[in-house]
Structure 1
Amino acid sequence: MEEITKAQEEVLRALWEINEGAVADVIAKLPKPKPAYTTVATVIKVLEKKGYVDHKTFGNTHVYYPLVSKEDYAQHIMKDALKGLFNNSISQLVSFFVKEKDVPLKELEELKKNIEKEIKKQKS
Structure 2
Amino acid sequence: MNDNIKVTELELRIFQCIWQLDNLATVNSIIEHWPDADAPGYTTVLKTLQKMESKSLVDHQKQGKQHAYFSLVNREEVTAGRLGTIIKRLFSGNKLSFAEYFLQENEFSQSELDELKALIEEKEGGRKNGHK
TM-score range, shorter chain: 0.7 to 0.9
Of 58, 70, 75, which aligns to 1:70? 75
Distance 2:14 2:123 in 1: 35
Alignment map for 1:39-118 (pairs within 5 Å): 39-118=44-123
Structure 1, 17-26 or 82-91: larger mean CA deviation: 82-91
Is 1:26 the counterpart of 2:11 in the alignment?
A: no
Determine the structure 2 residue equivalent to 1:14: 17
- Measured in 2, the distance between the counterparts of 1:121 and 1:40 equals 42
Return the offset for 1:15: 0.8
CA apart distance, 1:12? 1.2
Relative to structure 1, is the Cα distance of residues 40 and 108 closer, same or farther in structure 2, using a 3 angstrom cutoff? same
How far 1:85 moved relative to its partner?
A: 3.1
Cα pair 2:87 2:95 within 8 Å, conserved:
yes
Between Structure 1 and Structure 2, the one with more helix by share is 1
1:35 counterpart SS class: coil
Deviations 1:76-102 (A, max 9, x none): 222333334334433222111001222
Q: Give secondary structure in 1 for the equivalent of 2:52.
A: helix
Q: d(CA) in 2 for partners of 1:103 and 1:90?
A: 20
- Residue 59 of structure 1: how far off its partner (Å): 4.0
**How many aligned residue pairs are there?**
124
Q: CA deviation at 1:111?
A: 0.6
Q: TM-score, normalised by structure 2?
A: 0.78
Range moving further from structure 2, 34-43 or 111-120: 34-43
Secondary structure in 2 aligned to 1:31? Answer: coil
Partner of 1:37: 42
**2:107 partner SS:** coil
Provide the TM-score with structure 1 as the length reference. 0.82
Which one-letter code corresponds to 2:12 in the other structure?
E
Aligned residues of 2:5 and 2:78 also touching (Cα < 8 A): no
Q: Identity of aligned pairs, percent?
A: 28
> Which runs of 5 or more structure 2 residues have no equivalent in the other structure?
none
The whole-number CA distance in structure 1 between the counterparts of 2:124 and 2:6 is 33
In structure 1, stretches of 5+ residues that fail to align are none
Larger RCO (CA under 8 A, 6+ residues apart): 2
